[in-house]
Amino acid sequence: MPRPGGATAATGYRGEPVDPDVDLHVAADRAETAGHRLWRVLLVIAVGGVLGACARYGASLVWPTPASAFPWTTFAVNVIGCGLIGVLMVLVAETGEAHPLVRPFLGTGVLGGFTTFSTYAVDLTRLLDRGEPGTAIAYAGGTLLAALGAVWAAASLTRALVRRRVNPPVAARRARAQRESR
């Protein structure tokens, strides 16, 4: 059973909440997607998905990848999208200042439409079909590592910036103390 803050009884691990703005054990949260409200959530996801997919398509027009080249555009889109997901989840989960439709619109919709597993899979298949298994393995592993690294780095940086914004006097005292210790 999950505990507040994402910790579980079995592990005690406190990680990112799976869905920070909906707890189906709370009647008011269940009501968020009850009846006609469900359509509101689905609408913002659909609109966000269109915008994200259009942005991904735009990236492919601005930075086209020839059929015989490494799929840099897909790689970059997925890594950038994962970094933005890291920023979004910290802002939504840890500040508590976001509207309930922000996560479905930006996270599921825009960034879900922007990042692309299907094109990633097609790119892998093309690399294998061209007889480039080493490049395919590097692409598969490199994308995974870069995407996870982007989420971690973006979330860490965002957390630091949020903490600084939330408590600027503490950040200013720390900076002053560091300058004085030099």
Please report the DSSP string for 90-106 in residue order: HHHHHH--S-TTHIIII
Scanning the structure block, which residue is given the tokens 């910790």? 7
Instruction: Kindly report, residue by residue over 39-67, the tens digit of the pLDDT.
Output: 888 999 999 999 999 999 999 999 999 98
108 has a pLDDT exceeding 70: yes
The distance of Cα 70 from the centroid of its chain, to the nearest Å, equals 24
Structure tokens at 132: 């480039």
Give the whole-number percent of the chain exceeding pLDDT 70.
77
- Of the candidates 141, 42, 32, 157, the one whose C-alpha atom is nearest the C-alpha of residue 89 is 157
Structure tokens at 79: 């890594």
Residue 19 banded pLDDT, cuts 50, 70, 90 = low
137 has a pLDDT exceeding 90: yes
Helices 133-166 and 168-181 sit at what angle, rounded to 10 degrees? 100
15 has a pLDDT exceeding 50: no
What helix, strand, coil percent values describe the chain, rounded to 5?
Answer: 75, 0, 25
Do residues 75 and 139 make contact, with C-beta atoms less than 8 angstroms apart? yes
Do residues 80 and 111 make contact, with C-beta atoms less than 8 angstroms apart? no
The distance of Cα 77 from the centroid of its chain, to the nearest Å, equals 12
If one compares 178 and 98, the residue with the highest pLDDT of the two is: 98
| Mean pLDDT (the chain, rounded) | 84
Give the per-residue SS3 of 126-143: HHHHCCCHHHHHHHHHHH
For the chain, how far is it from start to end, CA to CA, in angstroms? 49
